[in-house]
Each structure stands twice: as structure tokens, then as C-alpha cells.
């Protein structure tokens, strides 16, 4: 019983392995197993039937000769026979009469005889397997009858049974019960002459189980290898993702640091520019105040000199009048003439000459300027440029002749510090937008007219 239990366990393990392989492979292996077990059942049945016939013949011959014979083993007597239609023909439980010889069991029809020319063996339904009395206790609890009815009920004699995956538990249980019924534990009453056959059957069974076990181990090994490979791949992906995340974090920190440095440098430059602008503004304010102060001092000196010359002139006129016989009580340096005095001092000869030299100057003709230029681009630019009418030829000379020489007459003194070019060129038909703002090409701080230049200009023009 222990050996049968171990065999059953091994077969169940093999069948479980077959169930895990897959639908197609499992169906194929089940068909192979069914054919192998059917062949084993046929071989076992024929062997047992031959043994029983031999024992019966010996018993009959012994009973006629010596009056007693050798009894057939109970296993052989109780073993049923199977015919083509699946019906069981049991042996008689009692002894047979003397001189009566049992007929040999009918032979099973092979698949070639049933199918004619088709020599390919096909698996038979599981219901055709031999059922021994030892497996009678398994009929009530097993699913053999249910599975065989579901598989081979509607199938013809030449049609293979179909074992879908949903019926695998029933088929596996039926195969287990059948294997347990086909391979019962060996009894001591078995003849020693049949041991080679039994050993061959046992070896074939062991080879089949070993093959199933090897296939199961191979499938398990492939599954474990696939799981390990999948785990390694997941670990590699996780490690790469972690490295990418760290690299991105470092790049983000570096960009943030660079941005902060640029922001600090920009702020530093802005503060430096603000400081430079403030210093320039303060310097301009100081220069402006100094210029105003010098201008006021100059004006005071001019007024004092004019007052002094006027007084000297008055004294000279009074002296001339006294010499002519006029009696005027005028003290030198005190008092003023009683009547209105309208007399301007004569201009200084040098000042008048310089003013005359400055007022007479030659203007270069436009054609001469164009002839002196050697650049074609400049010539094209000159030709495209539209010169206003008042700036050409005699019109410009006439305008300069009628123009006052004193800038204070042209420009009001309050507007000399900031000249609006729009007011200067307000007679133009088209207003130039660029006149409204100062461009970067003009340095108004360096080009500003100083107080000394104004005094020198006024002195040369005879305005002082």
C-alpha cells in the first residue's frame, strides 16, 4: 500500500506539472499518457489472462491425473476481462467441472482493424480502460464516469476524445484512479516467472514519471530564470531612474546657482551705474552753479566797467563845457547831468575791426564739396538727400546777413541752457521726430559753451 501511495503521489505531481504547462501541451501530453496507460492495461490484461489459462489447464490436467491441482491466484481469478463494447465478463467464483476447459478471452480489436487503411493509432476513450475489483471503491467517489461521459458520450468509434482545459481536474483525477487501479501492489502469490514483465512495466512507468518530472523542473527553471531576469531588469530601470533624478537635481541646482550669480552681478552693476550717474549729476550741478556764479560775477564786472566809463565820459564832457565858458557847478565824481543823456560810447577800433572780419567770410559752394568727395556711396547719399530751400545759395547768405549777431537776441537767456530744436525749426513744413530727443551721438556736457567763450565772443563782436 505504501508503494502504491508513493506511485500515486508521483503521478499526481506529474499531472500537476502537465496542467501548468499550457492548454496545447497539456492536451497533447494527456493524450500520450492515455495511450500509454491503455497499452499498459492491454499488456497487463493479456498477461493475466494467459496466466489464468495456464493455471486452469494445469489444474484440469492435475485433477484428471492426480486428483488435485494448483489453484489460480485470487488476483487472476477476480480480474475481469474487457471486450470491445466495454462490458465486463467476470470469472466464475466457483471451481469449474472436471474435463471442462475455459475458453480463452476474446481478443481486442485494434484500431487498424476498425479503421481499415488508417494505421495511425488514436487514443481511445477513458471508459475503455480496464477496471479492476481493487478500484471498485474508487468508482463512487471519483469523477471517472462523469469525465468519460462528458468526453466520449457523443464521440464516434473513430473520433478522438476532446479534453478542454475546464475538464482538466476531472481528467487528472480519473487518470490517477486508473493508474492506481492498473498498478496495484504486487502480492506474494505472483509467480516469479512474471517478474521481468512487471519490472519492464515498472521501468516504463518510472521513465514516464521521470520525463514528466524533468519537464516540470525545466519549466520551473525557466520560470525562475524569467522572474530573476525581470527582477534584474526592474532593478536596472530603478537604478537608472534614480541616477537620472539625481543628475537632474544637480543640474537644477547648478542652474539655480548660475542664475543667482548672474542676478547678483546684474544688481551690482546696476548699483555701480546708479552711483556713477549720481556722481555725474552732482558734478553737473556743481558745474552749473559755478557757471552761473561766474556769469553773475562777469555781469557785475561789466556793469561796473560801464558805469565807470560813463562817469569818466560825463566828467570829460563837463570839463569841455567849462572850458567853453559854461558855468556849471559840477564836482568831479559827483552828480549827474540834469538833462537826458543819449550818447553811446564809440566802439573800440580793434573790436570793430574784428567784428568786421568775422562778419565777412566765404561759404563753400555745394558743388565744390561734391567734387572733392571721392566716395561713390557718399555721392549717392548726397544726391538722395533733400536740402531745404533756405539752406542753398543766396537764400542762406541773405538769412545770415539779416541774422542778429547777438545770440541773446535770437535765444532768450532763460533758454540758453536747454535749447528746443523744435522751436528752432518750427517753420519747417514737416515736423522731424528726431529733433525732440537728444541722441547718443551728442555729448552735451563737453560741447556746452563756457562762460569764458561767451565773454570772448561778446568782446570780439563788440557787444561789450
For 398-428, write each residue's pLDDT tens digit: 887 777 677 777 766 555 556 666 666 666 6
Q: Are the beta carbons of 464 and 344 closer than 8 angstroms?
A: no
Say which range, 84-98, 168-182, 315-329, has the weakest mean pLDDT.
84-98
The answer to whether residue 350 scores a pLDDT higher than 50 is no
pLDDT for the residue numbered 23: 59
pLDDT for the residue numbered 41: 81
Reduce the secondary structure of the chain to three states and give it as a string: CHHHHHHHHHHHHHHHHHHHHCHHHHHHHHHHHHHHHHHHHHHHHHHHHHHHHHHHHHHHHHHHHCCCCCCCCHHHHHCCEECCCCCEECCCCCCCCCCCCCCCCCCCCCHHHHHCCCCCCCCCCHHHCCCCHHHHHHHCCCCHHHHHHHHHCCCCCCCCCCCCHHHHHHHHHHHHHHHHHHCCCCCCCCCHHHHHHHHHHHHHHHHHHHHHHHHHHHHHHHHHHHHHHHHHHHHHHHHHHHHHHHHHHHHHHHHHHHHHHHHHHHHHHHHHHHHHHHHHHHHHHHHHHHHHHHHHHHHHHHHHHHHHHHHHHHHHHHHHHHHCCCCCCCCCCCCCCCCCCCCCCCCCHHHHHHHHHHHCCCCCCHHHHHHHCCCHHHHHHHHHCCCCHHHCHHHHHHHHHHCCCCHHHHCCHHHCCCCCHHHHCCCCCCCCHHHCCCCCCCCCCCCCCCHHHHHHHHHHCCCC
Q: How confident is the model at residue 246 (pLDDT cuts 50, 70, 90)?
A: very high
For 378-400, write each residue's pLDDT tens digit: 777 777 777 778 777 778 888 87
Which pTM value belongs to this model?
0.23
The answer to whether residue 142 scores a pLDDT higher than 50 is no
pLDDT for the residue numbered 239: 93
The answer to whether residue 269 scores a pLDDT higher than 80 is yes
pLDDT for the residue numbered 160: 44
Q: How confident is the model at residue 346 (pLDDT cuts 50, 70, 90)?
A: very low
Mean residue pLDDT across the chain: 66
Q: How confident is the model at residue 252 (pLDDT cuts 50, 70, 90)?
A: very high
Q: How confident is the model at residue 463 (pLDDT cuts 50, 70, 90)?
A: confident
The answer to whether residue 435 scores a pLDDT higher than 70 is no
Say which range, 36-40, 62-66, 69-73, 227-231, has the weakest mean pLDDT.
69-73
The answer to whether residue 257 scores a pLDDT higher than 80 is yes
Work out the average pLDDT over 118-129.
Answer: 42
The answer to whether residue 438 scores a pLDDT higher than 70 is no
The answer to whether residue 2 scores a pLDDT higher than 70 is no
Q: How confident is the model at residue 120 (pLDDT cuts 50, 70, 90)?
A: very low
Q: How confident is the model at residue 288 (pLDDT cuts 50, 70, 90)?
A: confident
- d(CA 198, CA 48) in angstroms, rounded, equals 11
The answer to whether residue 196 scores a pLDDT higher than 70 is yes
Q: How confident is the model at residue 226 (pLDDT cuts 50, 70, 90)?
A: very high
What percentage of the chain reaches a pLDDT higher than 70? 46
Amino acid at each position: 500500500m505504501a508503494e502504491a501511495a508513493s506511485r500515486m503521489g508521483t503521478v499526481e505531481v506529474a499531472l500537476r506539472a502537465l496542467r501548468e504547462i499550457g492548454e496545447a501541451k497539456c492536451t497533447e501530453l494527456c493524450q500520450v499518457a492515455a495511450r500509454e496507460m491503455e497499452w499498459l492495461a492491454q499488456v497487463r490484461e493479456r498477461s493475466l489472462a494467459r496466466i489464468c489459462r495456464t493455471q486452469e489447464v494445469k489444474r484440469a490436467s492435475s485433477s484428471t491425473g492426480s486428483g488435485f491441482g494448483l489453484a489460480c491466484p485470487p488476483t487472476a481469478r477476480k480480474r475481469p476481462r474487457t471486450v470491445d463494447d466495454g462490458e465486463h465478463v467476470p470469472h466464475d467464483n466457483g471451481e469449474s467441472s472436471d474435463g471442462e476447459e475455459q475458453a480463452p478471452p476474446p481478443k481486442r480489436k485494434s484500431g487498424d482493424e476498425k479503421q481499415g487503411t488508417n494505421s495511425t493509432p488514436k487514443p481511445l476513450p477513458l471508459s475503455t480502460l480496464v477496471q479492476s475489483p481493487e478500484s471498485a471503491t474508487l468508482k463512487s467517489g471519483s469523477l471517472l464516469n462523469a469525465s468519460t461521459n462528458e468526453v466520449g458520450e457523443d464521440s464516434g468509434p473513430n473520433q478522438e476524445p476532446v479534453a478542454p482545459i475546464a475538464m482538466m481536474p476531472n481528467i487528472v483525477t480519473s487518470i490517477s484512479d486508473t493508474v492506481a487501479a492498473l498498478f496495484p501492489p504486487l502480492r506474494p502469490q505472483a509467480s516469479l516467472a512474471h517478474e521481468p514483465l512487471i519490472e519492464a512495466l515498472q521501468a516504463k512507468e518510472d521513465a514516464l514519471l521521470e520525463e514528466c518530472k524533468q519537464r516540470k523542473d525545466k519549466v520551473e527553471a525557466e520560470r525562475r530564470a524569467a522572474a530573476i531576469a525581470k527582477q534584474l531588469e526592474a532593478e536596472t530601470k530603478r537604478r537608472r531612474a534614480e541616477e537620472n533624478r539625481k543628475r537632474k537635481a544637480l543640474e537644477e541646482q547648478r542652474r539655480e546657482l548660475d542664475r543667482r550669480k548672474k542676478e547678483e552681478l546684474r544688481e551690482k552693476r546696476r548699483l555701480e551705474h546708479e552711483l556713477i550717474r549720481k556722481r555725474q549729476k552732482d558734478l553737473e550741478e556743481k558745474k552749473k552753479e559755478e557757471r552761473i556764479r561766474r556769469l553773475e560775477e562777469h555781469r557785475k564786472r561789466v556793469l561796473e566797467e560801464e558805469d565807470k566809463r560813463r562817469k569818466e565820459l560825463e566828467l570829460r564832457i563837463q570839463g569841455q563845457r567849462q572850458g567853453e565858458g559854461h558855468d556849471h557847478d559840477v564836482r568831479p565824481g559827483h552828480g549827474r547831468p540834469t538833462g537826458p543823456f543819449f550818447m553811446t560810447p564809440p566802439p573800440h577800433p580793434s573790436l570793430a575791426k574784428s567784428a568786421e572780419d568775422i562778419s565777412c567770410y566765404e561759404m563753400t559752394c555745394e558743388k565744390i564739396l561734391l567734387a572733392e568727395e571721392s566716395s561713390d556711396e557718399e555721392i549717392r547719399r548726397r544726391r538722395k538727400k533733400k536740402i531745404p530751400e533756405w539752406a542753398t545759395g543766396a537764400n542762406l547768405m541773405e538769412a545770415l546777413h539779416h541774422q542778429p549777431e547777438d545770440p541773446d537776441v535770437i535765444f532768450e537767456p532763460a533758454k540758453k541752457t536747454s535749447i528746443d530744436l523744435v522751436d528752432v525749426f518750427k517753420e519747417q513744413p514737416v515736423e522731424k521726430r528726431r529733433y525732440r530727443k537728444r541722441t547718443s551721438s551728442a555729448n552735451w556736457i563737453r560741447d556746452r559753451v563756457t562762460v569764458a567763450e561767451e565773454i570772448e565772443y561778446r568782446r570780439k563782436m563788440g557787444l561789450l
